[in-house]
Amino acid sequence: MSTAVAVSLINAVPSAHGLLSRRAYFLHWGVVQISLANFIIIVLMVVLFVLALILPFPGGKAVKSEEKRDEQ
């Protein structure tokens, strides 16, 4: 399987107004073809997931040691 990633530009028929309506970019890697937009979304998701795991979460220090009946 080729390890080269080829980016191909497809001159798609312009659909609607908007930044994303014109040419579509695709990434090729062996049997895998993925649009640049989808690729970016997946990468963003993985980045978000990793950040969510490693970034510290602000937390209160007051820890009550027993379950309280909290509803007033």
Partner 1 sequence: MSHDGKPARRRRRDQTPDAHRFPTRPYDLVKEFVIAVAVVGVLVAVLAAVFSSPDRKAITLENWANADPNDVVATAAGELAGTTTSAGYGAPYNRASDGQKLGPLPLQRWGSVRIPIDSANDLVIEPLSTVTGDPALTLALRTWHSASPDQQTKWAGNYSDALTATPDGNPSQVKPGDYGPVPVLAARFLTLARTGGLEGLLTSRHTFYATDQTKPLLLLADGAYLEDQARADHLGGDQWGMMNETGNYPGQPWMWLYTFWYQIKPFSTSGNADALVWALMAVLTLGLILLPFIPGLRSLPRHLGVHRLIWRNQTPAQRP
Partner 2 sequence: MSSEQHATSSWTVWLRNHIKRTVPEGQWLPDRQPAYVRSWIYVFGVATLAAFLFVLASGLALAVGGAAWWHTSRVGHFFNSMHLWSTELFFVFMVIHLWGKFFMAAWRGKRALTWITGAVAFVGSIATAFTGYLSQTNFDSQWISTQAKDGLNSVGVGALFNVLNLGQMLLWHIVLLPLVVGVLVVLHVILVRRHGVVPPFDAQPPEPAALAHTELPETAMQAPTDGADPAQVAR
Question: Which residues contact partner 1 by CB under 8 A?
Answer: 10, 12-26, 31-38, 40-42, 53-54, 56, 59-68
- CB-CB neighbours of 39 under 10 Å: 14
Name the residue with tokens 């014109």.
22
Provide the token pair at 46: 């993985």
d(CA 48, CA 70): 33
Q: Tokens 């007033």 identify what position?
A: 72
Between 2 and 11, name the residue whose CB sits nearer to partner 2: 11
User: Which residue number, 42 or 47, has a Cβ lying nearer to partner 1?
Assistant: 42
Instruction: Provide the binding-site residues for partner 2, judged by CB under 8 A.
Output: 15-16, 41, 44-45, 48-49, 51-53, 55, 57, 59, 61-66, 68-71
